[in-house]
Amino acid sequence: MIEDLFANDESLPRQWQENLAPGAVILRGYATEYVPALFDMIMALSKAAPFRHLRTPSGHTMSVGMTNCGDLGWISDELGYRYTPTDPETGQLWPPMPALLRQLAEDASSAAGYSGFNPDACLINRYYPGSRLTLHQDKNERDMSQPIVSVSLGLPAMFLFGGLTREQTCKRFPLTQGDVMVWGGPSRLNYHGVMPLKDAIPPSPAQESVRYNLTFRRVSAI
C-alpha cells in the first residue's frame, strides 16, 4: 500500500528532495510541521467558498471537489477552463490567500530552485476514496515562467507525472501528508494526474478519510 512505502522507516529523514524530471522535484515532508494549521485554514476557506464538483466543457462532472483562495480562482463549465476574480456560486471575491499559505508556497519554490515565486491563485482540491484527476496540463496561466507548487495533506495518493505529450509514459510517485511538489522550467507543461484515491487509515486519528491538495500558481503576467 502507498502509505506503507515510507512508514516506520527511521533511516529516512523527515525532509529530503526527490527529483522527478528536469525542473521537477518532490520536497518530502516539507510542510509536515504546518499540517494542523493548513487543515484549519482549509476548513475556514471552504466555509467562505464551499467545495463544489465542477463540470468540464464536455459535460463531465469532476470527481474531485474544488474551491479556491487568492486573487483568482480556477473554474470550469460549458464555457471552458478559466480563472475568475469572483466565485460564480456566490458572486463574491474568492477568499484572500492566508499569509502562511503564500509563505509556504514561496519558501518551497525557493527550496526547489525557483526564487521569486509570487502566487496569485491557490486551488484547493478534495479527494474522497475513488476520486481521481485525469492527465492534464496546467496551461490556463498567462505567466509560464513561474512554477507550480502543490502541497499534499491527508490520505496518501499516487501521482502521475508524464511528458509534454499525453502519449508519453507517466512515472508514478507516491505522495504522503506534508509532501510538496514543485515543477517548472522544462517540465512546466508536463502532463500529470492523480490515480483513483484508495481508502486508508488517515495519518492522524482526528482526520477523516480524505485527501486535500493545495496547488499554487501564478496566473497573471507580472
pTM: 0.90
CA dist 28 → 14, 91, 98, 129 (Å): 7, 38, 23, 23
138 is in an annotated binding site: yes
Q: How far is it, in rounded angstroms, from Cα 113 to Cα 66? A: 28
> What is the share, in percent, of the chain residues with pLDDT greater than 70?
93
Of 151, 127, 156, the C-alpha closest to 7 is: 156
Is 2.60.120.590 the CATH classification of the domain at 16-217?
yes
Of 108, 189, 206, 205, the C-alpha closest to 152 is: 108
* pLDDT tens digits, 63-111: 999 999 999 999 999 999 999 999 999 999 999 999 999 999 999 999 9
Which residue in this structure is represented by grid cell 491527508?
A: 154
136 is in an annotated binding site: yes
**Residue 151, strand partner residues:** 180, 214
179 is in an annotated binding site: no
Q: How far is it, in rounded angstroms, from Cα 206 to Cα 40? A: 12
Look at residue 121 and tell me whether its pLDDT is greater than 60: yes
